[in-house]
Amino acid sequence: MLNDSSTIAAISTAKGVGGIGVVRISGNDSLKIANKICNVDITPRKAHFSTFKDKKNITLDQGVVIYFPSPASFTGEDIVELQGHGGVVVLNLILKSCLSYGARLAAPGEFTKRAFLNNKLDLSQAESVADLINASTEAAAKSAINSLSGSFSNKINDLLNKLIDLRVFVEACLDFPEEDINFIDQGKVDKKLKDLNINIYKILDSAKQGQLLRDGVKVVLIGQPNVGKSSLMNQLARQNKAIVTEIPGTTRDPIKSDINIQGIPIHLTDTAGLRNTEDVVEKFGIDKTWESIEEADIAIILADVTVAPAKYEEIIINQLPKSLNKIFVKNKIDLLKQNSSITYQNNEPQIFISAMKGDGIILVENEILKIIGKEKSSSNKEDLFMARSRHIEALEKVKSALNNATLNLQAPELVAEELMIAQKSLSKITGEFSSDDLLGQIFGEFCIGK
């Protein structure tokens, strides 16, 4: 339960003007405060039409008041919602009245944090609340709903229970060595470790897809001036985001566009053309290009198919980070009256397109999906759940620990140690083992009122 017994209040609807706005109160004094503001007898789980007044008995608004008594509420505490007209000023007046009667302003994410601390949600479900609010695609929203409903947590808890059962057996063998038990054969330790490894790989695969849905992929367009980067960006974005001219060096600052390909958010950046130049402003833009390259997951490297490769293009490619995924695109095939196509050289795609006419764009999109593992993922779209980098990090630690346990089967002490590491890492995902700093960081990302 909470150490903080204060009653909190906040505007729970988004900033701006709307038909309806909600002020939410949570805590032991919620009903007492609402009774002072409203002019009706408030009964649990029933919508009452009421006038909302301040301490001076001045009418602030008219609307609906609903009371949700603990523990059957979102936070597990008494909650009252005051639903008035969705104007910024009027909602702030209602909130001010709540604060004048003893409530304090809620911190970002404090309602959801209280739900977690009162065991209404586990930590991964609590995080999915923010992910659902911030979802940028339909697929991301569906995955966040899956996580909120417990899909991710159920998979983690099922794996955790199997891991604990195995750990209990191994620890028992260590506690009673005089029994001379062949712990590998009798406990089927080898088989159980293999099953755990298979499960963790499946969950990790789904989690990585979920992380892509949440965070997206950073794709940068690079190449020399006038090769068609801006035209390609406009085709991928399905709108004119970048200026297209015949004048080399038109793009000076990186131009960003958030798009989605089959539900995957793509953070696309069109950059200044890379070339030797004495123009001070253009040099600054080129520096920005290299900064974008350092942050990218995938680089689309454009060249003009009608022009012989220049020495500088080779210099550019050699300077790219070795770990950067690369897609080589040869543009302007329309000038040669060629059809779009794709080949592979040293396992790297070489795609021939016309950015002006849109030919071959689907080949570029499919290659992006292939690189990020979307095509080979075994995860069913309906079963995907939202995941964060901390989840991936924890699952990777579990995978490593289980692998180490398998390699050290002849040493029960080492197996027990690795299983303990795996258990703690899994428990961090749902919040069984979580530091106050971690909770503060997670809930601090929420909006106030949620």
Domain range summary for the chain, segments of one domain joined by +: 8-118
Which residues, in sequence order, are CB contacts of 326 under 8 Å at separation 6+?
Answer: 298, 299, 301, 317, 320, 348
| Cβ(155)–Cβ(395) below 8 Å | no
pLDDT per residue over 164-222, tens digit each?
Answer: 888 888 887 776 655 555 666 666 888 889 999 999 998 888 888 888 777 888 998 98
Residue 359 CB contacts under 8 Å (≥ 6 apart), including other chains: 333, 334, 339, 340, 353
Whether residue 330 contacts residue 359, with contact meaning beta carbons closer than 8 Å, is answered with no
Stretch 232-246: mean pLDDT, rounded? 69
| Ranges 145-154, 339-348, 395-404, 427-436: which has the least confidence | 427-436
State residue 285's pLDDT score.
66
Best CATH choice for the domain 8-118 from the list 3.40.50.800, 3.40.50.720, 3.30.1360.120, 3.90.1150.10:
3.30.1360.120
Instruction: Give the whole-angstrom CA distance, residue 215 versus residue 203.
Output: 18
The pLDDT, as a whole number, for residue 249 is 46
Q: What is the pTM of this model?
A: 0.65
pLDDT, tens digit, 9 for 90 and up, residues 250-290: 444 568 888 888 878 898 988 766 655 555 555 666 667 77
Average pLDDT value for the chain? 83
Given a cut of 50, whether residue 244 has pLDDT beyond it is no
315/319 Cα distance (integer angstroms): 6
Return the pLDDT at 187.
66
Cα angle 219, 213, 447 (rounded to 5 degrees) comes to 105
Distance CA 402, CA 197 (A): 7
* 104 pLDDT more than 90: yes
Average pLDDT over residues 112-123: 88
pLDDT of residue 277: 54
The pLDDT, as a whole number, for residue 242 is: 46
Q: What is the pLDDT of residues 8-64, one digit of tens each?
A: 999 999 888 888 999 999 999 999 999 999 999 999 999 999 999 999 999 999 999
Q: Are 328 and 303 in contact (CB under 8 A)?
A: yes
At residue 301's C-alpha, the angle toward residues 300 and 307, to 5°, is: 145
Per-residue tokens: 322: 């070795």
